[in-house]
Amino acid sequence: MPWPKVFTMRRCLLAVLCSVSWLVVGCATSSSGTGDEVTDGAVEVLGEDETDPLPDDDDVVLPDDDAGTIKVDVEEPAADAEPPIDDVDYPVDDADLSFDAGTLPDVGFAFDAGVPRDVGTPPRDVGTPPRDVGFTPPCVRTVYRLRHLQSAQQRTDSESRRRASIDAAFGAGAQSISWTEIENLSDVRYIQARAGWTTYWPSGRAELVARNAVPVSWRDDTFRLVRGTSRFASAGRAGVSPSRWVTRVWLRHRSSGGILSRVAHHSVSGVDGSGRAPVAWRRMTHALDIAAFRDVMELDNVPVVGSGDFNTTRLRSLLGSEFDYDVPTSGGSHGGRLIDWVVHLPHSQQRFVGAHFVTVGSSDHRGVSAGYDYTPPCR
């Protein structure tokens, strides 16, 4: 075969192999041998003096009977053959795709319109969020008005009169009561039997003993007992005075869950003015009583109210300025003398709002009722 025709054949074969079409390409040649061009496309054919890698001759069939035409046999794909990958519209199966949660490659297909392309941002419905999401709700604090009553019995009264005094104390509108001079067994049992109220007896049961002379009662619908204690204050003296004790209870406020406390005490008498014999002993014992009361009031820092028959008008100077004295601005609890006191230690959750006297039956003491606004912390 003449050289120019072989060269022309190889040029046409190169153009066919570079095409992305599956159609049969024909080549037209000129007899001059100066240059060839492909008439079916816009592919430029290289000149004779330019080199180009050629396919192996085994891929080209050269007929002997036609010297003027070059034919290239291209194998047609079978009818059931798979088309090239570029021509297939592959379905997307999410179950077969595994991507980094932060980066989604551009794979060239459309996503479900309900799924955002930015997979780094989760959908809005992500289940139940954690409780602490960085938002602190405002604290709405509830104020509770509570009232405490100091009530002293007259132990020498008849039983009917003492019961009338106890009834008056329970009906005075307080939620807690500190009792003094409970020195008759019938009084112990009568107080213990009151429905809707619970009483803390320091000995552990409703019996007539010295430490049970100063119990504390509270309404069951307002408080429940957390714990109680009794502190020995001073030893008694036969024919003069019984031993003295200080009682304290810690109560849980049912509506708020907060803890507050109440204290009861009865100091020895005969210490004011010129005193009553034995004066020195009474005053020494009275000082012990006041010290024990102070210690019990300061056992911890929960809101606390204490009360009692202190048998002195000078409690402010004896107990100290660290306490607030929650009594009426005028009048006395035992005749014209103010010897029954209600006090508290200043506390941010408790504010004194006023006090008044209460007649409790035929007792020789008037009760002192003190009101407080109790504001427990937010829960």
Q: 7-22: per-residue pLDDT in tens?
A: 455 555 555 555 544 4
Q: Mean pLDDT across the stretch 108-128?
A: 53
Instruction: Answer yes or no: CATH 3.30.70.1380 is held by domain 145-374.
Output: no
Position of tokens 């794979």? 107
> In angstroms, how far is the first alpha carbon of the chain from the final one?
104
* CA–CA distances in Å: residue 72 to residues 44, 48, 56, 59: 18, 20, 13, 9
Average pLDDT across the chain, whole number: 79
CA distance 197 to 190: 12
User: What H or E segment, with its residue span, contains residue 343?
Assistant: strand 340-344
Tokens of 306: 């204490």
Q: Is the pLDDT of residue 52 over 60?
A: no
Q: Is the pLDDT of residue 111 over 80?
A: no
Domain boundaries, the chain: 1-100+109-118, 145-374
Q: Is the pLDDT of residue 106 over 70?
A: no
CA distance 217 to 222: 11
Q: If you ran DSSP here, which 8-state letter would residue 195 be given?
A: T
For position 22, what pLDDT does the model report? Answer: 44
Tokens of 323: 């306490």
Q: Mean pLDDT across the stretch 350-364?
A: 96
User: What H or E segment, with its residue span, contains residue 256?
Assistant: none
Q: Which of 46-50, 124-128, 247-251 has the lowest mean pLDDT?
A: 46-50
For position 139, what pLDDT does the model report? Answer: 77
Q: 123-137: per-residue pLDDT in tens?
A: 566 566 566 566 777
Nearest residue to 370 (alpha-carbon basis) of 166, 192, 178, 153: 178
Q: Mean pLDDT across the stretch 63-67?
A: 46
pLDDT category at 178 given cuts 50, 70, 90 is: very high
Q: Is the pLDDT of residue 49 over 50?
A: no
Cα 95 to the chain's mean position, in Å? 41
9-18, 48-57, 249-258 — which one is most confidently predicted on average?
A: 249-258
For position 138, what pLDDT does the model report? Answer: 77
Opening angle at CA 265, ends 259 and 266, nearest 5: 165
Within 10 A of 35 (CB to CB), how many other CB atoms are there? 13
Q: Is the pLDDT of residue 48 over 60?
A: no
Radius of gyration (C-alpha) of the chain in whole angstroms: 53
CA distance 102 to 124: 17
Q: Do 307 and 339 contact (CB within 8 A), yes or no? A: no
Q: 128-164: per-residue pLDDT in tens?
A: 656 656 677 777 789 999 999 999 999 999 999 999 9
For position 117, what pLDDT does the model report? Answer: 52
Q: Mean pLDDT across the stretch 265-282?
A: 97
Question: pLDDT exceeding 90 applies to what percent of the chain?
Answer: 62
Q: What is the DSSP string of 1-45?
A: --HHHHHHHHHHHHHHHH----SPPP-B--TT-S--B-SSSSPPP
